[in-house]
Amino acid sequence: MMIDYIKLIQWNIWVKENPENISKFLKETDADIICAQELIKDSKKNLDVAKYLAKELGFEYFYHDGETWDNRQEKEAQGNAIFSRFPIVNTNYIYVQQPKHNPINASSEGRVYIEATIKVDGKELIVGTTHLSYSDRFVITDQRKKEVDVLLSILKDKKSNYIFAGDLNSASDSYTISEIEKLLLHSGPAYTQKSWTTKPFEYKGFQEYDLNWRLDYVFNSKDISIIDSEILACPYSDHLPVQIKIKIKE
């Protein structure tokens, strides 16, 4: 049976969120492919969020650490994952910022781009995701620009059957987004629709309590048709999920 469209969700699931809540919500969306960030591992707690979600969803998945710690109580590793209802036939990862075991702050954490080639209706769809590092008030610092430029060097070769999604920790009028738009099409919804924050945020003097920022995005190659896009209401995580419906052109 031919598939009418593919439903993809981009979501930073929040390091503090109960994985059971994430699983419950994702099942309700009936998504086919999920790009997720802030998945943690902790061997002392027998916790591997990516593995848990894949089992609950019955999906194939690819996960890779962005950074590791042995001096934090809440996690030993944190990274990104791609989950798929369809077969994953190839995977790859590239660090956009090199890992530094026990980094001193959020902006110095290792960050990784991961990619999965997914077989859908006899065609191959390539899905990539990343979680760019945090910079104070999301300003594009020299360090952040280097990180973005590594990402751009990856994206410049993605010409067909490609979807890129992620928490880019960048405002819609930033260097990050303007440069990505030179390579890929924005999948929607409009940048005026916000995705962060639904929970109080305080870090080194920066405070945010309302849904005032768009940090989560999806982009596509020109041969991908976007049927629909929206930001979903959700009580879990501090980010709202971005959902798109796509069709791979013949």
Q: DSSP string spanning 125-149?
A: EEEEEEEPPP-GGG---HHHHHHHH
Separation of alpha carbons 225 and 228, rounded Å? 9
- The three-class DSSP label of residue 18 is coil
Q: pLDDT digits over 142-194, tens only?
A: 999 999 999 999 999 999 999 999 999 999 999 999 999 999 999 999 999 99
Indicate if the pLDDT at residue 1 is higher than 80. no
Rounded to an integer, what distance in angstroms lies between the CA atom of residue 34 and that of residue 46?
Answer: 23
Q: Please, which pLDDT band fits residue 204 given cuts at 50, 70 and 90?
A: confident
* For residue 248, pLDDT beyond 90: no
For the chain, give the mean pLDDT: 96
Q: Please check whether residue 57 is in contact with residue 26, taking contact to mean a CB–CB distance below 8 angstroms.
A: yes
Q: Which CATH superfamily is domain 6-248 in?
A: Endonuclease/exonuclease/phosphatase (3.60.10.10)
pLDDT of residue 2: 72
The pLDDT of residue 138 is above 70: yes
Whole-prediction pTM? 0.98
Written as one letter, the residue type at 91 is T
Residue-level pLDDT at 250: 65
Percent with pLDDT over 70 in the chain = 99
Residue at token pair 């993605």: 158
DSSP strands (E only) in 162-222: 162-167, 185-186, 201-203, 206-208, 216-220
Task: Note the pLDDT tens digit of each residue in 85-115.
Answer: 999 999 999 999 999 999 999 999 999 999 9
Q: Which of 129, 115, 180 is nearest to 153 (CA)?
A: 180
